[in-house]
Amino acid sequence: KAGVTQTPRYLIKTRGQQVTLSCSPISGHRSVSWYQQTPGQGLQFLFEYFSETQRNKGNFPGRFSGRQFSNSRSEMNVSTLELGDSALYLCASSPSLGESTTFFGQGTRLTVV
Amino acid sequence: KQEVTQIPAALSVPEGENLVLNCSFTDSAIYNLQWFRQDPGKGLTSLLLIQSSQREQTSGRLNASLDKSSGRSTLYIAASQPGDSATYLCAVGDSGTYKYIFGTGTRLKVLA
């Protein structure tokens, strides 16, 4: 059974650009969450999607957005990139909303220059 | 607002030692608590999950306990090995939103 797949693994962008990250959950999992990990702030919750609807949102500016498709795959978008957006972005999938069993992907390392 | 703290921030031990990692949280209204391992530049691997109604969970050389009333959890690693070197993260599942709130982690180094 394939794990959570995140693409791309590494990304370098320039300030002001926008970026889209992709996450394919484990087959059969319908809930996808996104987290940002930085050395200063640690791991912080961005948002959670279930059945193509955002169910929970963390305390991030509106530049951070996401969506989920009918096949449960999810994308997150960051517009007008800032240097502080440089981070490891982790996607987690679980069978259902609030399901305890959570599996994380390897992450996308975003560097903003 | 839930806050999760992990002590110590870093730990270096000789191989074979038993060790305890600590996690504390400020709000006892949690859904569950999960311990993760993260290797450098990698994602998170779930080690142990403790439901709010449980007191402990064991997997191999790992044992995690949960005391909700005091807002504490410990991860016990028996007979540590160099392969255990990693950052260990404690995450508390919020009972209202189910999102995880993470501690800042304990960076463990086991010396051969």
Q: How far apart are CA A94 and CA A11, in angstroms?
A: 26
Residues of B in Cβ contact (< 8 Å) with A58:
99
Q: What is the mean pLDDT of residues A36-61?
A: 92
> What is the model's pLDDT at position B37?
96
Interface test with A, best of B54, B94, B100 (most A CBs within 10 A): B100
CB contact under 8 A, A90 and B99: no
Q: What is the pLDDT of residues B6-30, one digit of tens each?
A: 999 999 999 999 999 999 999 998 9
